[in-house]
Amino acid sequence: MSLIDYTIAQLQTQLRSGKISAAELCDAYLARIASVDGEINAYLTVAAESARAAALAADRDLAGGHVRPLTGIPLALKDIFVTKGIRTTCASKILTDYIPPYDGTAVQRLYDSGAVLLGKLNMDEFAMGSSNENSAFGAVRNPWNRDYVTGGSSGGSAACVAARTALASLGTDTGGSIRQPAAHCGVVGLKPTYGRVSRYGVIAYASSLDQVGPLTRDVRDCAILAQAIAGYDPLDSTSVNAPVPDYLASLEKGVKGLRIGLPREYFGAGLDPEVKSALEGAQRVLAGLGAEFVEISLPHTEYAVACYYLIATAEASSNLARYDGIRFGLRVDEGEGLNALYCRSRAAGFGAEVKRRIMLGTYALSAGYYDAYYLKAQKARTLIRQDIIAALDQVDLLLAPVAPTPAFRLGEKTADPLQMYLSDIFTIPVNLAGTCALSLPCGFSAGGLPIGMQFIGRPFAEASLLQAAYAYEQATEWHQRQAIL
C-alpha cells in the first residue's frame, strides 16, 4: 500500500506505532504533487520547506509521546484562508503577492492538532463560481477526466483529495462550494451549520452565508477533521457558543429507525436521469439498512437561486470594497488622482465574474432598489429557512441530489452565467437556511464521472449527518474507487 493511499484514521495508527514517519509521509505527498499537479492545477502555492519542517517537528512529538489528533497528517487549504508567512491570493490578481501576518482560527486549530500544511489550493476567484474556471491562475481540472470541471468554488480542495495530492483539505461553502466539488470529484464534503466553525481569517465573500468545512476521502476522516476545527471562537462574532459533540462516538450507530425526507421539488424536471438513478439506488441501500423514507415539500425552493444571487452579491459588493489599491492588494497608479487609482486597480485586479457580482450587488443595494430587491430577497430567505426547519421537524434528515448533473465539460457553461448559477440549485437553500449538509459519493455516470448525494440536517446536527453517511458508505464501495493519474 502506497503512503498516499492511507486515510487519516489509518495513519493515526501507523504514525503512532512508528511504522511510518511524518517526514517520509510529507515527502511522499510533495513528490505526488510534483508528479501529477501539472495535470490538475489544484495548487497555487506549495509550501514544501515549511511542510518538511513541520513534519520533522511532528516526528519529534511522536517520539516524545506528545500525540495530538492530526500529528504528522499532511493537509492543504483553499487559498481563501489567511496563513501567516504563506501567500494567500483568493485566486485573484488583486491579491497576487499578499502575505498575511497571521493565521486564521481554522488554520490555527489544525496546527494546534499537529497537522502539516502542504500548501494553498486553487479556487474560483473570491469563491465566486460553480466550476473553478474563474480563477486568475487557470481552471482546476477534474482528476477523473481532465476535460471536465471539478465544481466550485472549492475545486482545488476537492481535486487534491481525489488526486491524492493531499490527505484532506479545508474549503468554504457559501452556496454549495464544498458539497458541489466534493460530488463532482467523488469525495466527502461537509458544510457545517453557520456558526459551528470560526470564519475568522477567512477572506469574506458573503458573510451571512460563508462557512468552513472539510473535504476528505471518507466519512470517518471527515469526522476527525470536523472535530479539529469546530467550536466557539470569540474572534468571530457569528460563532455560536455551543458544545461540540464527539463526532466519532456516534459514527457507527447506523440508520435503523431514522426517518429521511425526500424533497419532491428536488427530484423533478431538470434533474439528470443518471443522477436521479444514483439517488434512487442510495435510497434502496438506506431502506435496506432500516431507514424509513417520507416525501416532504420545500415549496419556496424555486426562489432560492434568485434570492441567493441578490443577498450574496450585495454582501460581496460591501466586502470587496476594501480592495482599492491603497490598503493592500494590486495598485495601478498613473498619477491621475484617487478615483482613477481605484478604478484602474479594481479593473485590473478583479476578473469578469467578480466584477459582475459586485455590480449586481451594488445595484441591489442602491437607492430606490433596496426594498425591491435586497429586502425582498431577505424575506424570501426567511421563507426558505422556515420550509427546511419545518421539514426537519417531521423527519431526522433530508436526502437530496447535490448538483442537477454530473460534472460538465470545461468551457461548457462559461458563456451562460444563468446556467452556471443553476448548478447550485440544490445546495443554495441550505446556506440560506444556515443549517448543515454533507455530500458523499453515491455512483458514477456512464462516462465515469462521480455522482454525489447530500444529507441535510437540523442546525448543529453534524453528528447525525456523519452517522447516516457512514452507514451508507460502509454498505457501498463508491468511496473506494480512485481516479487514475
User: For residues 123 and 78, is the Cβ–Cβ distance under 8 A?
Assistant: yes
Closest CA to 248 of 229, 232, 231, 225: 225
Q: Is 5 helix (H, G, I), strand (E, B) or coil?
A: helix
Look up 153 and say whether it is catalytic: yes
Identify which of 148, 119, 226 has the alpha carbon closest to the alpha carbon of residue 450.
Answer: 148
SS3 68: coil
Distances (CA, A) of 462 to 48, 191, 458: 33, 9, 8
Rg for the chain, CA atoms, rounded: 21
Residue 223 in 3-state DSSP? helix
Of 78, 120, 191, 413, catalytic:
78
| 8 Å CB contact between 113 and 69 | yes
How far lies 178's CA from each of 144, 422, 423, in Å?
18, 16, 13
Catalytic annotation, pick one of 169, 177, 198, 239: 177
**Cα–Cα distance for residue pair 33/437, rounded to 1 Å:** 30
**DSSP per residue, 348-414:** HHS-HHHHHHHHHHHHHHSTTTTIIIIIHHHHHHHHHHHHHHHHHHHSSEEEEESSSSS--BTTSST
Specify whether 413 is catalytic. Answer: no
Joined grid coordinates for residue 67: 500525540
Catalytic residue among 92, 113, 130, 153: 153
CB 262 within 8 A of CB 293: yes
Q: What is the DSSP letter of 275?
A: H
- Concerning whether 376 is annotated as a catalytic residue, the answer is no
Residue with cell 435510497: 283
As separate numbers, helices (DSSP H) first and strands (DSSP E) second, the chain gives: 15, 11
CA torsion sign for 163, 169, 172, 176 is: positive
Residue of 473, 40, 451, 454 whose CA lies nearest to 255: 473
- Cα–Cα distance for residue pair 263/249, rounded to 1 Å: 29
* CB within 8 Å of 318: residues ≥ 6 apart: 361, 365
Which residue from 131, 123, 129, 130 is spatially nearest to 95, judged by alpha carbons?
123
Q: Which residues are catalytic?
A: 78, 153, 177
